[in-house]
Amino acid sequence: MWSLAGKVLALQLAVIAVLLVAIGFLSVRQSNADFADESGRQLRSSAEYVAALPDVRVALRDARTSNEDPDTLARALAPYIDVGVTLYGATDVMVVSPDGTVLGATDPSRVGKPADLGESDALEGRGWTGDVEPDGERAIAAHAPIISAKDGSLLGIVAAEEPYPSVADQVTGAAPYLALYLGIGALLGLAGTWVVARMVRRSTRGLGTAELARLADHREALLHAIREGVVGVGTDGRVTAMNDAARATLGLERVPDPVGRPVDELGLEPHVVDLLTGEGAEVRDAIALVGTRVVVFNRGEASSDGRGIGTVTTLRDRTELVSLQSQLSSNLSITDTLRAQTHEFDNRLHTISGLVQLGEYDEVANLVGTLTRHRAEVAAHVSQRIADPALVALLLAKDAVAEERGVALELDPGSSLPRLADAQVADLTTILGNLVDNAVDACAGHPDALVEVWLFVDGRELHVRVRDNGPGVPDELAEKVFVRGFSTKPEPLTGRGLGLALVRLICAQRGGEVTLTRNADRQDGERGAEFLVVLPLDEREDGA
C-alpha cells in the first residue's frame, strides 16, 4: 500500500507528464501558425507573380478562343509554373480555369482534375490565403486571379501550395531545443515533487491515505462516544469540533452543523460564549446555567508543535447533582435550625436554672410565659397566612436561624398562600430557602438587620418576594449573580454561588422567572436587594 507521500509523488509526476504533453501540443500549434504566416506570404507572392505574367494571360486567352488541346496548354504553362516554384520555393503551383479544373501544375497528374480550392473566393477576382486539403493532406495555399488585360474578364487563377510539416518533422527539427526545455521542466518538476513529498510525509508522520482516513474515523467515533461535551474552538473564534453531548448540553440539537461557524453566532448566552472563547487559556470548574441545565466548564489550551491552535472545553451536566445538593442543603438547613434551637434552649435553660437557684420563681414563670407566647405568636402569624405545613415549618426554622444571627425575619401581613401540590411545595421550599439564606447572609451584622418575605397568589401565578436591608447588589452584578457560580461572599466556600443559579434553574424548568427587581438606594435611605419569583400555579393532585 502506498503512503500518502508516494501517492502525491505519483500524482504530481502524472501532472508533469500532462503539462509536458500540453506544452508540446502548444509548441506544435505555434509552429504551424508561424509556418502558415511565413509560407503564406511567400506563396501569395509566387501566385501573384505567375498570375501577372503576360505570357500566361496570352496562353489562356488563346486556349479559350482556339479550343486548344489541354495537354498542349499544360506544356505551354509549365515554364511559367516552374519559375513560380523556383523563385519562391512553393511545393506546387497550379493554373486553374474559372470552372475549377487544373490546366497546368507542377504535378502533371493533377492536370484535368478538379482543384481543391477550399474556402477561396479567388474565382470572384480577389486574392486569398488559407488552408486546403488536396488528396487529404493539409496544406497552406495562396490564390491569385488572372485578369485579362483586354476586357478585364477572369481567365483563371494561380494556386501556390505548401504542405504543413508533419508532427514528426517538427519534433525532429526542434528536437535539440525541445528536449532541452522539456528536460529542464521535468527536472524542476521532479525536484519540486520530491520536496512536496518530503513535506507531506513529515506532516502526516509517514501515514498513508487509508491510515489517515481510519484515524479520522476513529477520532470522530471517540469524540461522539464521550458522554461529556467536548467543544474545540480555533484561534479565530470558530468551532473546530463539537460532539453530540456538547450539542445536547448547549441546546444546539436543531442548529445546523456548528463546526466552522463563529461561537458568537450559535445563539448562546453571552456568559456561555465567554466561557468557550473568553480571554485566558484556562477555566477550571466554572459553573454556569445553560437553559435548564447546570453545567461545569473546564477549558484548556490546545497546541501543536508548540504553537497554539485554539482551546478545548469540556462540559459536564451537573443538573441532577445540583438537585441532590439542594436536598442536602435542605437537610443541612434543618440541622442548622436544630443547632440554633439547641443553642437557644441551652441559653434559656441556663437562665431558668440561675433564677431557680436564686429562688426567683416568679421571674421563672414570667420568662417561660414570655418565651411560650413569642413562639406561639410567630407560629400563629405564619400559620394564619400560609396553609402548607412544610412551608410553615421552613419559615419557622429560618426565623430561628435568623434570630440567632441578629436578623429579624418577617412575613408580610399581606401574604396568603393556599395548600399547594407536593411537587411545587418541594421546589418552592428550595427557592424560598435559598433566597432567605442569601438575604440573611447579606444583612447579618448590619444595624436593624431585616429580611421581609411576601408570598401570595395572583390568578394562576404564585409570587414570592424576598427583600433585605443589606448592602444591595451593584447594577453591574445584577445579572451575574444568577450565573457561573457567582457569589458576593468573600469566603471561598464550597458550593458558593449555586443558590441563585438553582433558583433560576427551577424557575426555568417550571416556566417561571426570577428577577432582581430592586438593588438601588431605597426611599428610606437604606440599601437592599429584592428578588421576585413568579411561577405558574400547579393543581393539587387531590383536587383540593
Under 8 Å between Cβ of 536 and 530: no
Cα separation of the two ends of the chain: 78
Q: Is residue 69 part of a domain?
A: yes
CATH number for position 104: 3.30.450.20
Write out the three cell numbers for 448. 436593624
Q: Is residue 245 part of a domain?
A: yes
Q: Is residue 344 part of a domain?
A: no
Tally the domains of the chain.
3
Q: Is residue 246 part of a domain?
A: yes
CATH number for position 442: 3.30.565.10
Domain end, chosen from 268, 295, 317, is at 317
Q: Hey, what amino acid is at 91?
A: T
Q: Is residue 208 part of a domain?
A: no
For residue 246, give its domain range.
Answer: 226-317
Phi, then psi, of 86 in degrees rounded to 5: -70, -45
Write out the three cell numbers for 402. 435568623
Q: Which residues, 6 or more positions from 481, have their beta carbon under 8 angstroms from its beta carbon?
A: 473, 488, 500, 516
Q: 0.85 cut: is pTM over it? A: no
Residues 390 and 525 in one domain: yes
Tens-binned pLDDT, residue by residue, of the chain (544 aa): 565 556 666 776 777 777 767 777 777 777 777 777 888 888 888 888 888 888 888 888 877 777 767 788 888 888 888 887 887 777 888 888 888 888 888 888 888 888 888 888 888 888 888 888 887 788 888 888 988 877 788 888 988 888 887 766 666 655 555 666 667 766 776 777 777 767 766 666 655 556 656 666 666 666 666 778 888 888 888 988 888 888 888 888 888 888 889 988 888 888 888 888 876 668 887 777 777 777 888 888 887 767 778 888 888 887 765 555 555 555 555 566 666 566 666 566 667 667 677 777 677 676 666 666 666 677 788 888 898 888 888 888 888 888 888 899 999 988 999 988 887 888 888 888 889 988 998 888 888 899 999 999 988 899 999 999 888 887 777 767 776 454 444 443 334 456 787 788 788 878 888 888 765 544 555 578 899 999 998 766 554 4
Q: Is residue 363 part of a domain?
A: no
Residues 301 and 400 in one domain: no
**CA distances (Å), 311 to each of 146, 218, 241, 288, in order?**
87, 21, 10, 18
Residues 80 and 164 in one domain: yes
DSSP state of 412: -
Residues 422 and 295 in one domain: no
Task: Look at residue 127 and give its three-state secondary structure.
Answer: coil
Q: Is residue 188 part of a domain?
A: no
Residues 147 and 8 in one domain: yes
Q: Is residue 204 part of a domain?
A: no
The dihedral region occupied by 473, where left means phi > 0, alpha psi between -120 and 50, and beta the remainder, is beta
Phi, then psi, of 455 in degrees rounded to 5: -120, 130
Domain end, chosen from 293, 317, 341, is at 317
